[in-house]
């Protein structure tokens, strides 16, 4: 009997006809943080360049200081716009491949609880917490959902982050193991 992917990630070590459980290796918090940090740096650089280009015309303005843009009034808009870009970035990558650039570099992937591809709704829910409420999402996740290493929005969206490894045959039963 040959291997078949049936949507399971390469990390799923699956049983044969003896109905052994599938083993999905959950990614560690450090790998997840480093992947997030890589994504944060990449997207922040792109956003920094875009914001600089957008504000360039205002830098050579002949307006008085009273008419110049007030930086304090711009900060909430900057935060919201940046968070919206992060939300779009993560939703797109989590839905299409399960891997953002950071996750690809660390060989980890977001999947549903069965190890299969995440649908768009689940990707959006999972990405929302990471984009807008990360500290709260992570802390509450550590306190309440640590058995599958889920943030709160991973729990709400029924997603997990797995470590990618070679796979064997498939089965219906699943067992989770921390790396």
Residue 69 DSSP symbol: P
127 lies in some domain? yes
143: part of which helix (H) or strand (E)? helix 134-144
Tell me the percentage of the chain whose pLDDT exceeds 90: 53
Q: Cα 171 to chain center, whole Å?
A: 27
The verdict on residue 16 lying in a domain is: no
Q: Which of 132, 32, 123 is nearest to 82 (CA)?
A: 132
Q: Residue 11 falls within a domain, yes or no?
A: no
Q: What is the pTM of this model?
A: 0.73
User: Is residue 111 within a helix (H) or strand (E), and if so which, with residue range?
Assistant: strand 108-112
Residue 56 domain-assigned (yes or no): yes
Q: Is 146 exposed, middle or buried (0-12, 13-18, 19+ CB in 10 A)?
A: exposed
Q: What is the residue range of 114's domain?
A: 22-60+71-178
Q: What pLDDT band is residue 100 in, cutting at 50, 70 and 90?
A: very high
3-state secondary structure 25-55: EECCHHHHHHHHHHHHHHHHHHHHHHHHHHH
CA–CA distances in Å: residue 65 to residues 41, 55, 71, 79, 140: 33, 15, 12, 24, 44
3 belongs to a structural domain: no
| Domain total of the chain | 1
Q: Which residues pair with 24 in a beta bridge?
A: 176
Residue 124 lies in a domain: yes
Model confidence pLDDT, tens digit, residues 143-179: 887 789 999 999 999 999 999 975 544 445 677 888 8
Residue 2 lies in a domain: no
Average pLDDT, the chain: 81
Distances (CA, A) of 174 to 6, 8, 22, 25, 48: 14, 11, 4, 11, 43
Q: Answer whether residue 30 is part of any domain.
A: yes
Query: 111 vs 50, 69, 151, CA distance in Å?
Result: 32, 43, 14
């Amino acid at each position: 009997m040959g291997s078949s992917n049936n949507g399971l990630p390469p990390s799923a070590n699956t049983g044969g006809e003896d109905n052994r459980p599938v083993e999905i290796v959950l990614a560690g918090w450090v790998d997840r943080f480093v992947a997030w940090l890589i994504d944060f740096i990449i997207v922040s650089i792109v956003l920094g360049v875009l914001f600089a280009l957008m504000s360039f015309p205002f830098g050579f303005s002949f307006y008085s200081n009273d008419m110049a843009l007030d930086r304090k009034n711009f900060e909430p808009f900057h935060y919201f716009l940046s968070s919206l870009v992060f939300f779009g970035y993560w939703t797109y990558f989590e839905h299409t491949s399960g891997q953002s650039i950071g996750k690809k570099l660390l060989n980890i992937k977001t999947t549903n609880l069965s190890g299969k591809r995440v649908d768009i709704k689940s990707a959006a829910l999972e990405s929302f917490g990471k984009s807008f409420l990360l500290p709260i999402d992570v802390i509450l996740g550590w306190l309440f959902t640590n058995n599958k290493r889920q943030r709160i929005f991973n729990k709400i969206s029924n997603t997990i982050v797995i470590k990618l490894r070679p796979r064997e045959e498939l089965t219906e039963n699943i067992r989770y193991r921390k790396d």
